[in-house]
Chains A and B, each alone.
Chain A
Amino acid sequence: MSRSLILALAALTGSVTPSAAQLVVQGVRDLNFGPVLQGFAATVAPTDPIKSGQFYLRTPGIGTRVRIQFTLPTQLIGPGNARLAITFGANDGMAKGTAPSSVAAFFNPKATVIYRMVTSADANVWLGGRITPTANQPVGSYTNTVIMTVTVF
């Protein structure tokens, strides 16, 4: 009895074991706020077709469960090591499969989210955010990195 159970579990596990090669996560487009003014907050929505950040995700197949986690900065780094605060809101993450019938799902990028791929094996994930330059924020270019980690299980 216990042997049968073990075999069944092994078969189940084997049937969904993903290969790292089958999982693809790519950064497609930077989250670009563009020019922003001292003293004026600026927001980019995940639906912004130009400024939002974008990742591409390909999973082993329909039915795959994925866990999505972001490593998000709290500051952008600028000239002379100046810091520019950046925050992410509850709906600043957006995921959508590539199938025509796919519908966008919004999520909080600060939290781990788990999805099951239903209509397509791949998807795009977009990211928005908000920066708040101070009135005397040093002018210049600011940047930092966002990492999206996807785990298939």
Chain B
Amino acid sequence: MRFLTKVSAAAALSLSLATVSQAQTSGSINVNALVRQPITITNGQDLDFGVVLQGTPKTIAETAAAAGRFDATGTANANVNIDFTLPANLVNGANNLPIGSWTGCYNQSAATNSSGCTAIANMASTTATAFGNVAGAGRLWVFVGATVTPAAAQAVGSYTNTATLTLTYF
């Protein structure tokens, strides 16, 4: 069941008959696009807990010197969404070391978290912000912290995993 029928050549007669009785109306819309430069994100610094003790949780704040840091470039002043993919464990072979209580902040003007770093309220949801404008270049630095919670019988060794930052223009 179609709502409209594409008129065939047989309609030509009707077309000529109606030539003097046409009604014509126009409407318009705009076509819009925002051109942005591709985003780059590099690992500025790993989030490194160093030595932790069995049975003793350890926290590194997003404002600490040991916080993890992502360095991003994009279009100056362009709106961008921040999203994270964060692990629940650090891994050493078959052994897991729980990690959680993630925290974060972002800085639009400098690669520092000691001042001017805006806290990210919820690491599990999207945070809207914009690239800063540093001498005409779009820059954004994102810092993350977390807490690891070794069990009393946590297997000793080196644990690691990956935290991923995704930036999306909007």
Contacts and interface: CB of A to CB of B under 8 A. Distances in A.
Interface in B15-35: 15, 17-35
Contacts of B135: none
Number of chain B interface residues as a range: 35 or more
Closest 5 A/B residue pairs (Cβ): A97-B3, A102-B3, A35-B169, A153-B18, A25-B27
Contacts of A137: 35
Interface stretch (B5-13, B63-71, B105-113, B148-156): B5-13
Interface of B: 1-7, 11, 14-15, 17-38, 75, 78, 169-170
A45 interface: no
19 contacts: A13-B20, A23-B23, A27-B27, A35-B78, A36-B35, A53-B31, A76-B31, A86-B31, A98-B3, A139-B36, A141-B32, A144-B31, A145-B29, A145-B30, A147-B27, A149-B24, A150-B25, A151-B24, A152-B23
Interface residues of A, number: 78
A38 B37 CA distance: 5
